[in-house]
């Protein structure tokens, strides 16, 4: 019997370096499926049974993505928007450490540095949370 595994179109494998609490995906910013797929992921994560909130950390608000025909009933999403992309990983680290969110999603325009990945993993462990890093390629 043969077993085949199909990888999603916009998935980039990252070496397993830690506790498995940080997931990284890469999406093309100009692809027509990226916006609806990202909106669907955020809606699914916000509907988590955990009473804590989903936290969105990015240089742009999530709301325009969710307005693209996505049902918004019962969503628990905290948005943290910063104009400085340098601070996004630091904001995500603080949000993870506090443990007020079950998942912290961070939108970046560049891949994570190794020290950032380690800091996010440690913060996720400390806050009993998960981190979703979304890298938008141009």
Per-10-residue mean pLDDT, the chain, length 138: 48 56 88 82 87 92 70 74 84 96 93 93 96 90
What contacts 28, CB < 8 A, 6 or more positions away? 10, 34, 136, 137, 138
Stated as kind and residue range, the H or E segment containing 22 is: strand 22-28
| DSSP SS3 for 106 | strand
**26 neighbors 10 (Cβ within 8 angstroms):** yes
> What pLDDT, on a 0 to 100 scale, did the predictor assign at position 74?
60
What is the C-alpha separation between 87 and 49, in angstroms, rounded? 30
Q: Which of 119, 111, 127, 128 is CA-nearest to residue 18?
A: 119
> What pLDDT, on a 0 to 100 scale, did the predictor assign at position 68?
56
> What pLDDT, on a 0 to 100 scale, did the predictor assign at position 131?
97
């Amino acid at each position: 019997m043969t077993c085949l595994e199909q990888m999603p179109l916009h998935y980039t494998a990252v070496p397993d370096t830690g506790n498995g609490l940080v997931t990284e995906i890469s999406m093309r910013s100009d692809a027509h499926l990226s916006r609806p797929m990202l909106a669907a992921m955020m809606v699914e994560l916000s509907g988590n049974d955990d009473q804590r909130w989903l936290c969105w950390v990015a240089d742009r608000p999530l709301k325009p993505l969710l307005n693209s025909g996505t049902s918004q009933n019962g969503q628990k999403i905290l948005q943290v928007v910063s104009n400085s992309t340098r601070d996004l990983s630091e904001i995500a680290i603080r949000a993870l450490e506090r443990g007020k969110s079950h998942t912290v999603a961070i939108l970046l325009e560049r891949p994570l540095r190794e020290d950032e990945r380690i800091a996010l993993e440690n913060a996720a462990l400390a806050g009993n949370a998960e981190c979703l890093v979304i890298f938008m390629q141009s």
